[in-house]
Amino acid sequence: MKAWISGEHAATVKRPKLGFLGVGWIGRHRMKAILDSGAAEAAAIADSSADMAREAAALAPDAGIVSDLDALLDLELDGIVIATPSAAHAEQSIRALGAGFAVFCQKPLGRTASEVRAVVDASRTADRLLGVDLSYRHTQGMQQIRQLIRSNALGTIFAADLTFHNAYGPDKPWFYDKNQSGGGCVIDLGVHLVDLALWCLDFPSVTNVTSALRAGGKRLENKGQVEDFAAATLTLAGGEIIRLTCSWRLNAGCDAEIGADFFGTEGGASFRNVDGSFYDFTAVRMSGTSSETLALPPDDWGGRAAVDWARKLAGGQRYDPACENFIAVAEAIDGIYGAGI
C-alpha cells in the first residue's frame, strides 16, 4: 500500500478491502464505525443468518454476501473482521491469518491462554496485523487515566479496583455452555477489567491470583458450570494489588455498574459509568478530598478499536508485537478460573 501523503497533496492510499464474518448487532456496529471512518471498505459479508447479512448489506450495498469463512478466504481481501460466537474465534482467526489476511476479532480472542497464544503465533508467522475489540481502552476517560499513570503524575500505583456488573445476562444459549464460551461473566466482562488494569500499568507480570466464582449465589459445583459472579485479586510483580468484580444479573439497582479506580502514592484516578449507562462515562483525577474532571460524555468510543485497527492496516502495518499482551490477559483469566474451582 502507498503511504499517506500529507501537505497539499491528497492521500492516495488504496483503502483496504475487508470481509465481515458475523454481523449481528456488535458486528454491524463495528462495520459501520469502520465504514464511517473511511479507513476501509466492505467487500464481502458472511453470516449464518440471512436476515443479519441483509441488514449489514444495507450499510454497504456494493459488498457481496457469501456463505461462510471459506468463501471469504477465496476472495481478494486485505483483512477479515470476526464477530462470531467465542468458540470459533481462535480457529477462525488462525485460518484467516494463515491465508494471508489481517484480522480484527471480537473478545475473547480465545477461550484459554493456549488458544490466544496460538492466534498470536499465527499472526507473527504470517506477518499480518492482529487486533482485538478491547474497546474500553479507547474511551476518552481511560486514555486520560493511562496517560496520568504513564507520566507518573499519580506517583507509584499500588492498587486498583475494577468493576463490571451487568443487570442482564446474555440472551444466547452458547454463553452458558463453557465449551463454547470459555466461561461466564469473567471471560465476557472481566476480560475488559483485566485488560484495562494491565494495559494502564504496561503489562507487569501477574505473580499470584485468588478468586471466588459463584453461580446463583453458590460456589461452582463443577468445571463445566459458568459463573454469574466473580471476585478476584491479582498480585503483580511490583507488589501492586488489583481487585476485580464482575457479574451477570446482579441486583445493582441500575442497568450496569462499571468502574476502574487507580490509587497511587501521589494521587488517584477514577473511571465511572453515568446513571447505569453502558455507554456514558466520566473520569476524574483525585488528590486527597478534591477531584478534577478529566472526561465527560458524550464520547462515541464504541467503534474506535476497530477503526484504529483499520487505519493501521491502511497504513501498511503488519505484525504488531503489542498483540502479545493479549496472551498476558488470557493467562490472568486462566488464573482466575483455576483459582476459583
Q: What is the DSSP string of 199-260?
A: HHTT-PPEEEEEEEEEETTEE--STTS--SEEEEEEEETTS-EEEEEEEES---SSSEEEEE
Note whether 233 and 241 are within 8 A (CB).
yes
pLDDT tens track for 190-247? 999 999 999 999 999 999 999 999 999 999 988 889 999 999 999 999 999 999 999 9
Q: What pLDDT sits at residue 86? A: 96
Q: What pLDDT sits at residue 13? A: 63
pTM score above 0.75: yes
pLDDT tens track for 318-337? 999 999 999 999 999 999 99
Please check the confidence at residue 263 and state whether its pLDDT lies above 50.
yes
Q: What pLDDT sits at residue 126? A: 98
Please check the confidence at residue 178 and state whether its pLDDT lies above 50.
yes
| Three cell numbers, residue 296 | 465527560
What is the pLDDT averaged over residues 1-14?
41
pLDDT tens track for 241-261? 999 999 999 999 999 999 999
Q: What pLDDT sits at residue 4? A: 34
Instruction: Give me the residues paired with residue 241 across strands.
Output: 159, 235
HSE of 87 in the Cβ direction (CA atoms, 13 Å)?
9
| Three cell numbers, residue 93 | 482467526
Q: Which of 171, 177, 194, 167 is nearest to 277 (CA)?
A: 167
Confidence grade of residue 168 (pLDDT, cut at 50, 70, 90): very high
